Chains A and B, each alone.
Chain A
Amino acid sequence: MTPEERERYARHILLREVGGQGQQKLLAARVLVVGAGGLGSPILSYLAAAGVGLLGIADDDVVSLSNLQRQTLFRTEDVGRDKVEAAREAIARLNPHVKSDAHPRVTEENARKIVSGYDLVVEGVDNFAARYALNRACIAEKTPLVSAAVGRFEGQLSTFKPFADPGVLPCYRCLVPEEPPREEQVNCAEEGVLGAVTGVMGTLAAMEVLKELLSVGDSLAGRLMLYDGLGGAFRTVKLPADPACPDCSVHG
């Protein structure tokens, strides 16, 4: 590390669980962030600030005015621009040491190829189809997946790495075996979301990414964290593998 880097990351290096070695791990890490929206904003900000070496950003939306109530990576003058490009600029302003790569929307067809270039994937996408595609790609590539979701005043977060303990640790599909009926899905566009909820859950997702990269603390793998914003309460519950899961079951 250069003197400038040692100063930039001084508060990390002070932590016994991080130190110079941990910071080196972050500088060498490659993380794919899928969805540059309400969750993606704090995820990208904290991972860039932490010095994660390479951030892949997958999104094909443009910044719209109704995004700005929660997507803090963007400014009013970014409206109409490609999110990925605006996000890369924001990251570069925050930390010019961080490299970033642009990727299109993740689909069933391209997911595995994109995922294969990264050590870890974190997603805050706005639909179930992309979550299933990422889940399968991450299982195939044995890549940990930190998954966050929000709706209205609530959030859900977990880490999926079934390959680390097959039959015990779950994948995303063990939690959500099939897509909820579309008319009953809670999504931001139709149901609304309080902006700060995406800040809470995106920041927690960034925290879990950093824990996985540093191999410190208790992973959220095998657990589901639930945030009730109106109640002002968190609950973390056990999340076992589903023995009949079509995506990760050792029997299926």
Chain B
Amino acid sequence: MDITVNGEEKRFEAPLTVAGLLDALELAPRKIAVERNLEIVPKSLFTQTALADGDRIEIVQFVGGG
């Protein structure tokens, strides 16, 4: 299936969860939020949220300055 990650189209084997995607991209969940089709996915649901063909994913890095 094809998924757009930060504007770039990528191909993955289905099935794939949000947690699986982060593994594949070698991203640590602690420093980011994942936005799927304009909605933030709660972190506790990363392992059970299945991605679908055509999903648009944005990886949002937290900023902490004031």
- Residue pair A151, B64 in contact (C-beta under 8 Å): yes
**Interface secondary structure of B, over-half rule:** mixed
A155 neighbours in B (Cβ, 8 Å): 63
Query: A121 on the interface (CB 8 Å rule)?
Result: no
> Out of A149, A198, A238, A242, which one reaches B64, CB within 8 Å?
A149
- The CA-CA distance from A68 to B14 in the complex, in Å, is 52
- Residue pair B63, A152 in contact (C-beta under 8 Å): yes
A46 CB → nearest B CB, Å: 16
A127 neighbours in B (Cβ, 8 Å): 64
Q: Mark A130-145, 1 if CB is under 8 A from B, else 0.
A: 0100000000000000
A97 CB → nearest B CB, Å: 27
B35 neighbours in A (Cβ, 8 Å): 237
- The CA-CA distance from A174 to B33 in the complex, in Å, is 10
Report how many residues on chain B are interfacial, defined by Cβ distance under 8 Å. Answer: 20
A123 neighbours in B (Cβ, 8 Å): 66
- Residue pair B62, A176 in contact (C-beta under 8 Å): yes
A177 CB → nearest B CB, Å: 5
Q: A180-B31, A242-B44 are in contact. Are A150 and B65 (CB under 8 A)?
A: yes
- The CA-CA distance from A237 to B40 in the complex, in Å, is 7
Query: A118 on the interface (CB 8 Å rule)?
Result: no
- The CA-CA distance from A123 to B66 in the complex, in Å, is 8
Most A C-beta atoms less than 10 A away, residue of B40, B44, B65: B65
A-binding residues in B (CB < 8 A): 28, 30-31, 33, 35, 38-40, 42-45, 58, 60-66
